[in-house]
Structure 1
Amino acid sequence: MTHEVVSRIEELSGQLAATAPETERLGKLSDESVKLLRQTGIMRMLQPTEYGGLAAHPRDYAEAVMAVSRNCGSTGWVTGVVGAHPWEMALMDRRLQEEVWGENPEAWIASPYAVMGVAKQTDGGYTLNGRWAFSSGTDHCDWIFLGALLADTEGNPVMPPTVLHVVLPRKDYTIVDDSWDVIGLQGTGSKDIIVDGAFIPAYRTIEMEAVAEGELAAERAGRTDTVYKLPFWSMFPLGITAAVIGIAEGALAAHLDYQRNRVTATGTMIKDDPIVLSAISEAAADIAASRSQLLDGISRLYDLADAGKPISFEDRAVVRRNQIRCAWRAVAAVDQIFARSGGNAARRQNLMQRFWRDAHVGLQHAIHTPGSIYHSTALTTMGLEPEGPLRMMI
């Protein structure tokens, strides 16, 4: 059954698609894009119900992100990143949740989580300094999650290293406006963030390890909805990969529209060219497989949590491996159809080139790096125990 948010997105699909050129030109979401997203309710899908959210099944959330991304890759990407943050906010101190959503349930929260700053211990909390890259959708957000390395009162890193997720209001950080000049996902406005000595009260922080496992964080936060019992590295990558798959679906739709009546330079109708038609079918099957595998993975983890069963490291590793493979498979399929679209596909007025650029830049995100994840998953499925860095981001 189609979720109500997905249905609203599909009803607004034409309007969302129409915003894409301006969003790309601005280098951030246009005001119309933001307005339409608020109408759909997608940013509140993973938000707690007491703050106007839906506490939705993550499968429905991923399908909603795909639906947006099919029309505008940049807008879909922002929903995949910013839309995931209410999930972690639900696991934070209730005082912070009240600050963020108490007066404005529509408040958006940016990130990044990469450890690009240092949080030095001080009375009542921490002093934060650093510069972070890739804060998608940040111009439209009122708060931000940032990853930071915990340091003692002298500024020396605590050993063993401890990563904090810290939350700041908009007044406590600076957005670097000229820091997003890229070839794809231009409209995401994924700009740099600078923090210079901001004070972070302790209740606005959480240790990364506390949310990595899932169930423990939900218990501490008093959350009983199943969605909040899932592991961080299963939930956060979900929306990002969903955006890439949605972009691939948009590329396929644009390709079909373009090829339907196209005649090649040799006078051949594409509809009569068996080689191109075969490539279209293979690409369509690969994109569909990526979609199904991504949704199946998060659904299996949800079902385990819902049944009160533990989610093992192997469960998490396999889902992460498959999630990465979904993204690479979908983008490879886009390459196959783009290569058979002729020279006119590279023209700015052809939708294919924007989807192609967006898909490749989406694949560059750190959560799509296969190396250590594939290595770790192979060891795990052999019954061996990965150690140290091989357990990162799983």
Structure 2
Amino acid sequence: MTHEVLSRVQEMSGQFAAAADETERLGKLSDESVKLLRQTGVMRMLLPTEYGGYAAHPRDYAETVMEVAKNCGSTGWVTGVVGAHPWEMALMDRRLQDEVWGENPDTWIASPYAVMGVATAVDGGFKLSGRWSFSSGTDHCEWIFLGALLGDATGAPVMPPTVMHVVLPRKDYTIVDDSWDVIGLQGTGSKDIIVDGAFIPAYRTIEMDAVAAGELAAERAGRTETVYKLPFWSMFPLGITAAVIGIAEGALAAHLDYQRDRVTAMGTLIKDDPIVLSAISEAAADIAASRTQLLDGISRLYDLADAGKPISFEDRSIVRRNQIRCAWRAVEAVDQIFARSGGNAARRHNVMQRFWRDAHVGLQHAIHTPGSLYHSTALTTMGIEPEGPLRMMI
């Protein structure tokens, strides 16, 4: 059964597509794009039910992100990133949840989680300073998650390193307005953030290790819903890769529209060209395979958690490996069809070029880096336990 939020997004797909040009021109989500996201309820899919959310199955969430991204890559990307943050907020102290959602369940939370600052322990909490890049959708958010290293009294990171996620209200950080000038996903407004000595109460923090394993954080937070028992490095990448796959689906749809009646300079109808049609079919199959594999992976983890079974490091590792390959396979498919779309596909008025640019920039996210993670997963499937950095982001 189709989730009600997905149904609303499908009904409004034309409106999302119509707002895409303005979103890219502004370098952040347009007012219309924001309004559509709020009307459909996408950002509340992973919000706990007591705050007016759906606590939805992550498969439904990923499919909805794909649907948004199929019409506007930047809006889909922000949906995949900002829409995931209620999931982690549900694992935080209830005092913080009340601060964020008590008056308005549609309050949005930004990030990034990259460790670009140091949180030094002080009486009652921490002092934080640093500069973070890539805060997608940040102009429309009232709170932010930031990754930080725990620091000692001198401000130097403690050893071995302890990674924390800390939460700040909008008044405690600065958005650097001119810090997002890019060739793709321009409308995400993924700007830099500066924090200069802000105080963070201890209850607005959580150690990364607590959310990485999933079930531990849910138990501490008193969350019994299955979705909150899943590991961070399975949930956070899900929305981002779903956006990339949705962008690839949008590129394919635009390509089919464009090629249907296209005639080459040599007078050949594309629909009579077996080479191009073969490439279309291969690309369509690869994009469909990416969708299926991404949804299958998170569904298998959900089923384990729902049955009360542990999710092993190997389970997490395989799902992450496949999630990365899904993104690369989908973007490689976009390259195949874009290469056969002719010179007019590069014109600004042709939506194909925007999907092509957005797909490639989406692939640059750190969660799509295959090297060490592929290495780690290969060891794991051989029965060899990866150590140290090879366990990162899994």
Give the alignment's TM-score, normalised by structure 2.
1.00
Map residues 106-117 of structure 1 onto 2, 5 A cutoff. Answer: 106-117=106-117
1:78 matched residue in structure 2: 78
* Counterpart position of 1:38: 38
- Equivalent residues in 2 for 1:42-121 (5 A)? 42-121=42-121
Map of 1:188 onto structure 2: 188
In structure 1, give the amino acid aligned to 2:313: F
Aligned partners of 2:118 and 2:156 also within 8 Å: no
1:374 is matched with 374
CA-to-partner distance for each residue in 1:4-54, whole Å, 9 max, x for gaps? 111000000000000000000000000000000001101000000001110
Partner residue of 1:11? 11
State the match for 1:123 in structure 2. Answer: 123
2:177 matches 1:142? no
**Residue in 2 aligned with 1:249?**
249
After TM superposition, the structure 1 = structure 2 runs for residues 144-183 of structure 1, keeping only pairs within 5 Å, are: 144-183=144-183
Q: Percent identity?
A: 89
- Cα distance in 2 between the residues matched to 1:377 and 1:328: 17
Partner Cα distance (1:255, 1:294) in 2? 23
Inter-partner Cα distance in structure 2 for 1:70 and 1:265: 30
Cα distance in structure 1, aligned partners of 2:167 and 2:314: 30
Query: 1:2 and 1:23 mapped to 2: Cα distance?
Result: 28
Q: Distance in 2 between matches of 1:269 and 1:285?
A: 23
In structure 1, the partner of 2:390 is 390
Tell me the amino acid that sits aligned with residue 224 of structure 2.
T
- In structure 2, the residue matched to 1:323 is 323
2:117–2:147 CA contact under 8 A, matched in 1? yes
Offset at residue 152 of structure 1 (A): 1.4
1:234 positional shift: 0.1
Task: Tell me the residue number matched to 2:259.
Answer: 259
Any idea what SS the aligned residue of 1:47 has? coil
Deviation at 1:207, TM superposition (A): 0.2
Partner of 2:365: 365
**1:310-368 alpha-carbon deviations (Å, 9 max, x no partner):** 00000000000000000000000000000000000000000100000000000000000
Mapped to 2, the partners of 1:301 and 1:158 lie a distance apart of 33
Q: Counterparts in 2 of 1:158-237, with a 5 A limit?
A: 158-237=158-237
For residue 165 of structure 1, give the secondary structure of its aligned residue in structure 2: strand
* CA drift at 1:158: 1.4
What amino acid maps onto 1:177 in structure 2?
D
2:29 matched residue in structure 1: 29
Deviations 1:170-195 (A, max 9, x none): 00000000000000000000000000
The one-letter code sitting in structure 2 at the alignment partner of 1:227 is: V
Cα distance in 1, alignment partners of residues 216 and 25 from structure 2: 44
Question: How far apart, in 2, do the equivalents of 1:155 and 1:293 lie?
Answer: 44
- Residue by residue over 1:353-389, the C-alpha shift from the partner in whole angstroms, topping out at 9 and shown as x without a partner, is 0000000000000000001110000000000000000
Tell me if the contact between 2:112 and 2:146 (Cα under 8 Å) persists in the aligned partners. yes
Give the distance between the partners of 1:154 and 1:265, measured in 2 at CA.
Answer: 68
Deviation at 1:155, TM superposition (A): 1.2
Which residue identity is paired with 2:308? G
- Code of the residue aligned with 1:36 in structure 2: it is L
Note the alpha carbon deviations across 1:93-150, whole angstroms, 9 max, x for none. Answer: 0000000000111100000000000001100000000000000000000000000000
- Aligned with 1:223: secondary structure? coil
Secondary structure of the structure 2 residue equivalent to 1:168 = strand
Q: Which amino acid aligns with 1:250?
A: G
Work out the number of aligned pairs and report it: 394
- CA separation in 1, counterparts of 2:153 and 2:92? 24
Alignment deviations for residues 206-247 of structure 1 (CA, whole Å, 9 cap, x no partner) = 000000000010000000000000000000000000000000
SS in 2 for 1:323: helix
**Unaligned stretches of 5+ in structure 1?**
none
- Structure 2 counterpart SS, 1:252: helix
Report deviation, 1:164.
0.5
Q: Equivalent residue of 1:329, what SS?
A: helix
- Find the aligned partners of 2:324 and 2:48 in 1 and give their Cα distance: 28
Contact 2:248 2:287 in 1 (8 A): yes
Q: CA deviation at 1:156?
A: 2.2
The root-mean-square deviation of aligned C-alpha atoms, in Å, is: 0.4
Cα distance in 2 for partners of 1:35, 1:190 equals 19
Query: In the aligned structure 1, how far is the partner of 2:379 from the partner of 2:337?
Result: 35
1:347 match: 347
Return the alpha-carbon distance in structure 2 between the equivalents of residues 314 and 170 of structure 1: 38
AA aligned opposite 1:176? V
* Distance in 1 separating the partners of 2:154 and 2:117: 15
SS of 2:19 mapped into structure 1? helix
1:309 maps to 2:306: no
Q: CA deviation at 1:157?
A: 1.4
User: What is the alpha-carbon distance in structure 2 between the residues aligned to residue 191 and residue 52 of structure 1?
Assistant: 29
3-state SS, counterpart of residue 116 of structure 2: strand
1:159 deviation in Å? 1.5
- Segments of 4+ moved more than 6 angstroms: none
Instruction: Work out the CA distance in 2 between the residues paired with 1:134 and 1:32.
Output: 22
Gaps of 5+ in 2: none
